[in-house]
């Protein structure tokens, strides 16, 4: 087999693109030196991320800071490297390092709070608005108000020598006017200076986990803004006013249900007030919107990203740990890759390794990348390469995974392998016949875990996808060129979906997975509905499988997700010449039909089949 030239040496757009922490006083020669080091080690792109540790004269969007941006962008252009712009001075995004609130104090972050009235009259302070007065079952009158909350985003400058930092006031992201001001200050500011590089050297704009309450110092408030109730009512389709107390009191009727409804509604309102505005701006300026939302299974909002993304941070997902398959963070790679597929996006991303600590190992870092690739991710933003590790910077959301790390001398092999796997996962057809139904802000993981362990690949569908994008008949769900022959449900079905899913139900293609479900019976039933692609002997719950077709070749990405080595005989249903491809060396060798494959700890292999 002759390998495609692009697989051996993919273009720079498929490179890993690390966060590059600009976290100290910057020097022209040192910036150029570090860019040169990146290129020598296979890193052909980066995210410029102003970070805590900058001196005050390198303030957010200042002329001096943008001058260093210009230097880095022009140097990247000379080397045909790619650069991403990060849209905030630290994080979370949306406040322009406090400049939104500085421009208009009324744009400060707001929330809903309660006041138990007893017998006294309500007296509102300046800037407070009454939302409703609601009676508790015991007769207590409770006023719900919206007001400014004590909320901030992280700062760029240490207070003294650190590690204490100066902070900035958070903006009201549920207020479209506040978001428009953020766009004016940051996005228009970047366009005025660097628009000639948009869609060329400048690869994308990165927005980072915008949070409805920023980083809130108060514990008894909920997301909201002036006039939020009318939007909640519109989105939910019923009057939420009688249920406002469920936000605070667990003994209110159906409190958990109504609390979930409220949070789902404000997240959908955030789509309208924040993400849609950013997406429209980026669309108009030929600069894709990338980044990620606040939660690992927030899939609904990813429709507004041109490069949907998520982030592996805080050791929330680990090898040889239940977190690899259990909990909301375990869904995040499938979250972004499924969204990209169904919304017609070419790429999807993961910001990985952030705050994994100095104990992060070389093996763990490689495992995290492979965990993403076998789930369909095709762009990695490693977190992070540090410009400086001086003083407290060494311990600020560690580790440095770049040139200050112990593995820097052999980083190129890792970077080249990631570039090849990113290329392989791009512009390819995903061969997959199973979907799992989720909500805009929640993706089930229990059935997903069973599918992973039985080598039954799947994608997530959000409820709106079925209503807006899919065609459904007795053969399955047809969406974005895919046909899903089985749809798995873990939760009660939204009544709006029952009529459109009736052909699927009548054909036996609607399958419930609930507590107590027998996993063996469940997967046996699934296997009767979808084509069998591979069988392995002996059985192993550690092997993950992704099947794609690129050009005329079928590719199987096989990943031993656990520490113990595996020796497996894998039988493929496809007939044709078979080859074993090593993404690290780009070497390929022939593979016999019954050849046993040996997987070392956390090893990833790729099998190519020419029909």
Helix (H) or strand (E) holding 373: helix 362-373
Q: In 326-368, which ranges are E strands? A: 349-354
Structure tokens at 443: 């993706």
Residue 468 has pLDDT above 80, yes or no: yes
Structure tokens at 9: 């040496």
Residue 119 has pLDDT above 80, yes or no: no
Output the pLDDT for position 320: 96
pLDDT tens, residue by residue, 258-308: 999 999 999 999 999 999 999 999 999 999 999 999 999 999 999 999 999
Taking the C-alpha atoms of residue 605 and residue 581, their distance in angstroms, rounded to an integer, is 7
- Preceding peptide of 399 cis, ω within 30°: yes
Q: Tell me, what DSSP letter sits at residue 346?
A: S
Output the pLDDT for position 140: 87
Output the pLDDT for position 516: 87
Taking the C-alpha atoms of residue 511 and residue 513, their distance in angstroms, rounded to an integer, is 7
Residue 481 has pLDDT above 90, yes or no: yes
Residue 120 has pLDDT above 80, yes or no: no
Residue 1 has pLDDT above 80, yes or no: no
Contact residues for 318 (Cβ-Cβ < 8 A; gap 6+):
324, 364
Q: Give, in degrees to the nearest 5, the angle at Cα 566 between 560 and 567.
A: 130
Taking the C-alpha atoms of residue 544 and residue 452, their distance in angstroms, rounded to an integer, is 6
Output the pLDDT for position 4: 85
Output the pLDDT for position 457: 98
> Per-residue confidence at 2, pLDDT binned at 50, 70, 90?
confident
Of 463, 486, 465, 464, nearest to 474 by C-alpha is 486
Output the pLDDT for position 196: 98
Helices (H), 530-589: none
Average pLDDT in the 58-85 region? Answer: 98
Rounded alpha-carbon distances, angstroms, from residue 228 to 74, 286, 503: 44, 32, 38
- Measured on CA atoms in the order 365, 370, 372, 378, is the torsion positive or negative? positive
> Per-residue confidence at 59, pLDDT binned at 50, 70, 90?
very high
Residue 176 has pLDDT above 80, yes or no: yes
Instruction: Put the strands of the sheet holding 553-560 in their side by side order.
Output: 429-430, 543-550, 553-560, 604-610, 577-582, 587-591
**Is there a contact between 581 and 546 (Cβ–Cβ < 8 Å)?**
no
Mean pLDDT of all residues belonging to the chain = 96
- Measured on CA atoms in the order 28, 30, 34, 40, is the torsion positive or negative? positive
Helix (H) or strand (E) holding 362: helix 362-373
Helix (H) or strand (E) holding 523: helix 519-529
> Per-residue confidence at 103, pLDDT binned at 50, 70, 90?
very high
Taking the C-alpha atoms of residue 35 and residue 79, their distance in angstroms, rounded to an integer, is 9
Taking the C-alpha atoms of residue 268 and residue 237, their distance in angstroms, rounded to an integer, is 13
Residue 118 has pLDDT above 80, yes or no: no
> Per-residue confidence at 123, pLDDT binned at 50, 70, 90?
confident
Phi and psi (nearest 5°) for 586? 65, 20
To the nearest whole percent, how much of the chain has pLDDT over 70? 100
Average pLDDT in the 141-155 region? Answer: 96
> Per-residue confidence at 587, pLDDT binned at 50, 70, 90?
very high
Residue 534 has pLDDT above 90, yes or no: yes
Q: Give, in degrees to the nearest 5, the angle at Cα 184 between 183 and 188.
A: 90
Average pLDDT in the 578-598 region? Answer: 92
Only one residue has tokens 């100290």, namely 24
pLDDT tens, residue by residue, 73-84: 999 999 999 999
Structural domains for the chain: 432-530 (3.40.50), 536-610 (2.60.40.1180)
Q: Give, in degrees to the nearest 5, the angle at Cα 510 between 473 and 556.
A: 90
**Is there a contact between 433 and 455 (Cβ–Cβ < 8 Å)?**
no
Output the pLDDT for position 526: 94
pLDDT tens, residue by residue, 319-365: 999 999 999 999 999 999 999 999 999 999 999 999 999 999 999 99
For residue 21, give the 3-state DSSP assignment: strand
Beta-sheet pairing, 202-208 with 289-292: parallel
**Residue 173 burial (CB < 10 Å; 0-12/13-18/19+)?**
buried
Taking the C-alpha atoms of residue 308 and residue 341, their distance in angstroms, rounded to an integer, is 10
Output the pLDDT for position 258: 97
């Amino acid at each position: 087999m002759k390998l495609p030239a692009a697989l051996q040496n993919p273009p720079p757009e498929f490179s890993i693109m690390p966060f590059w922490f600009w976290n100290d006083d910057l020097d022209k020669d040192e910036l150029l030196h570090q860019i040169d080091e990146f290129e020598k080690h296979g890193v052909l792109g980066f995210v410029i991320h102003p970070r805590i540790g900058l001196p005050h004269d390198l303030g957010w969007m200042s002329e001096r800071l943008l001058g260093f941006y210009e230097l880095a962008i022009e140097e990247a252009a000379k080397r045909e490297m790619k650069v991403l712009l990060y849209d905030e001075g630290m994080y979370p995004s949306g406040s322009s390092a406090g400049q939104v609130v500085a421009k208009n104090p009324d744009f400060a972050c707001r929330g809903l709070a309660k006041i138990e009235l007893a017998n006294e009259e309500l007296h509102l302070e300046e800037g407070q608005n009454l939302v409703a007065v609601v009676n508790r079952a015991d007769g207590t009158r409770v006023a719900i108000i919206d007001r400014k909350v004590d909320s901030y985003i992280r700062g760029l400058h240490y207070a003294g020598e650190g590690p204490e930092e100066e902070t900035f006031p958070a903006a009201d992201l549920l207020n479209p006017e506040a978001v428009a001001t953020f766009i004016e200050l940051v996005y228009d500011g970047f366009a005025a200076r660097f628009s000639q590089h948009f869609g060329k050297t400048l690869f994308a704009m990165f927005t980072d986990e915008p949070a409805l309450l920023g980083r809130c110092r108060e514990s008894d408030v909920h997301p909201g803004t002036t006039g939020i109730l009318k939007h909640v009512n519109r989105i939910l389709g019923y009057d939420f006013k009688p249920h406002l107390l469920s936000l605070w009191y667990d003994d209110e009727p159906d409190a958990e249900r109504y609390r979930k409804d409220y949070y789902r509604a404000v997240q959908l309102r955030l789509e309208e007030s924040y993400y849609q505005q950013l997406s429209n701006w980026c669309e108009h300026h030929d600069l894709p919107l990338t980044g990620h939302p606040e939660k690992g299974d927030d899939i609904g909002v990813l429709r507004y990203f041109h490069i949907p993304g998520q982030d592996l941070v805080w050791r929330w997902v680990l090898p040889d740990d239940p977190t690899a398959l259990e909990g909301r963070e375990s869904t995040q790679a499938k979250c972004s890759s499924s969204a990209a597929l169904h919304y017609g996006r070419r790429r999807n991303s993961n910001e990985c390794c952030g705050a994994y600590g100095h104990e992060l190992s070389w093996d763990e870092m490689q495992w995290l990348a492979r965990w993403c690739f076998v789930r369909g991710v095709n762009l990695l933003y490693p977190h992070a390469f540090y410009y400086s590790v001086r003083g407290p910077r060494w311990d600020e959301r560690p580790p440095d995974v770049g040139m200050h790390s112990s593995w820097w001398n052999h980083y190129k092999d890792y970077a080249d392998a990631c570039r090849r796997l990113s290329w392989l996962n791009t512009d390819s057809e995903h061969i997959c016949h199973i979907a799992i139904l989720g909500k805009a802000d929640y993706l089930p993981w229990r059935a997903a875990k069973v599918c992973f362990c039985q080598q039954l690949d799947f994608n997530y569908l959000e409820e709106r996808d079925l209503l807006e994008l899919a065609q459904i008949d007795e053969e399955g769900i047809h969406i974005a060129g895919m046909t899903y022959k089985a749809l798995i449900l873990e939760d009660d079905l939204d009544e709006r979906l029952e009529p459109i899913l009736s052909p699927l139900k009548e054909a036996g293609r609607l399958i419930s997975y609930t507590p107590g479900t027998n996993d063996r019976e469940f997967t046996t039933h699934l296997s009767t509905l979808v084509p069998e692609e591979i069988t392995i002997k002996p059985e192993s719950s550690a092997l993950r499988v992704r099947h794609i077709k690129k050009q005329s070749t079928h590719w199987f990405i096989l990943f031993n997700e656990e520490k113990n080595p595996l020796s497996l005989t894998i039988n493929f249903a496809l007939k044709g010449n078979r080859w074993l491809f090593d993404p690290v060396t780009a070497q390929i060798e022939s593979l016999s039909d019954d050849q046993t494959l040996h997987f070392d700890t956390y090893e990833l292999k790729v099998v190519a089949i020419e029909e």
